[in-house]
Amino acid sequence: MLTLSAALEVPVHAQDVLPGGVRVPIQGYWTSGCIKLGMGGRHGAVVTLHVSPLGVLRAQAQMFAGPSCDRPTVLARYRGEIIGNSALGELDHRVEAVRLSVADRQALALYNEQPDNFGCGFARARPWALNRERDVAGRTCGGQGFARVGTVLKDRYWLEGEELRFGALPLSLEPVARPTQPGPVVFYKVGLVDRSE
């Protein structure tokens, strides 16, 4: 865990170097376009990333009912701490939080009617509520598994100009072998970060 004193030691000219000397050249704000998900691409998602100079990786995936990203259904939020990065783009991040909220009444009914499948294993006695975030780290939701807090995920990224791809993120938040090929989701840089973020 980074301490405030360690964070203050990061010089302005070395914003791509974390405390402890770990370099992370992908700092900034990134977004995907509307990506198709689900069987036959029947759903859509837009994913945003924030990679801070202090080693925090935040991802937010807004899922939509249709492939054109027009009606929000579920929001997934991830927070991790970057603990390793190599010149080859190997990136290790430790899971700090995985949370979901449901923003659509049809999706809410599905989560509550099928708690073991869509509802992440929450019993009917603890139903989902509209727009209320829940901790889903270590759970499986609609076939998507999420790592437990403290798990180290090993990924790889490919950076070409202002375009970024990962091998696993954002489609997997489970421990897998380090990817050797870029995934299909392209992120576009949309902003720089301040060293205090």
- In Å, what is the CA distance from 90 to each residue of 168, 180, 187? 11, 10, 17
Residue 138 lies inside a defined structural domain of this protein: yes
Distance of alpha carbon 150 from alpha carbon 85, whole angstroms = 18
Residue 151 lies inside a defined structural domain of this protein: yes
Distance of alpha carbon 67 from alpha carbon 45, whole angstroms = 8
Position 14 pLDDT exceeds 90: no
According to the model, what pLDDT value does residue 46 have?
A: 97
Q: Average of pLDDT values for 182-191?
A: 95
Q: Average of pLDDT values for 19-46?
A: 85
Residue 77 lies inside a defined structural domain of this protein: yes
According to the model, what pLDDT value does residue 171 have?
A: 84
Give every CB contact of residue 98 below 8 A, 6+ residues apart in sequence.
76, 77, 78, 79, 135, 136, 137, 146, 147, 149, 173
Query: Which one is predicted more confidently, 142 or 75?
Result: 75
Query: Which one is predicted more confidently, 22 or 183?
Result: 183
Residue 11 lies inside a defined structural domain of this protein: no
Q: Average of pLDDT values for 129-158?
A: 95
Q: Average of pLDDT values for 86-102?
A: 94
Residue 197 lies inside a defined structural domain of this protein: no
According to the model, what pLDDT value does residue 196 have?
A: 63
Query: Tell me, what DSSP letter sits at residue 177?
Result: P
Residue 5 lies inside a defined structural domain of this protein: no
Taking every pair of Cα atoms in the chain, the longest distance, rounded to a whole number of angstroms, is 53
Alpha carbon 96 to its chain's center: 11
Closest among 78, 145, 135, 71 to 107, alpha carbons compared: 71
According to the model, what pLDDT value does residue 12 have?
A: 30
Query: Which one is predicted more confidently, 139 or 197?
Result: 139
Residue 126 lies inside a defined structural domain of this protein: yes
Which residue range(s) make up the domain with 30?
16-191
Position 9 pLDDT exceeds 60: no
Q: How confident is the model at residue 151 (pLDDT cuts 50, 70, 90)?
A: very high
According to the model, what pLDDT value does residue 104 have?
A: 96
Q: How confident is the model at residue 16 (pLDDT cuts 50, 70, 90)?
A: low
According to the model, what pLDDT value does residue 8 have?
A: 29
Residue 196 lies inside a defined structural domain of this protein: no
According to the model, what pLDDT value does residue 23 have?
A: 60
Position 10 pLDDT exceeds 50: no
Position 20 pLDDT exceeds 80: no
**Percentage of the chain modeled with pLDDT above 70:** 87
The total domain count for the chain is 1
Position 44 pLDDT exceeds 60: yes
Query: Which one is predicted more confidently, 101 or 123?
Result: 101
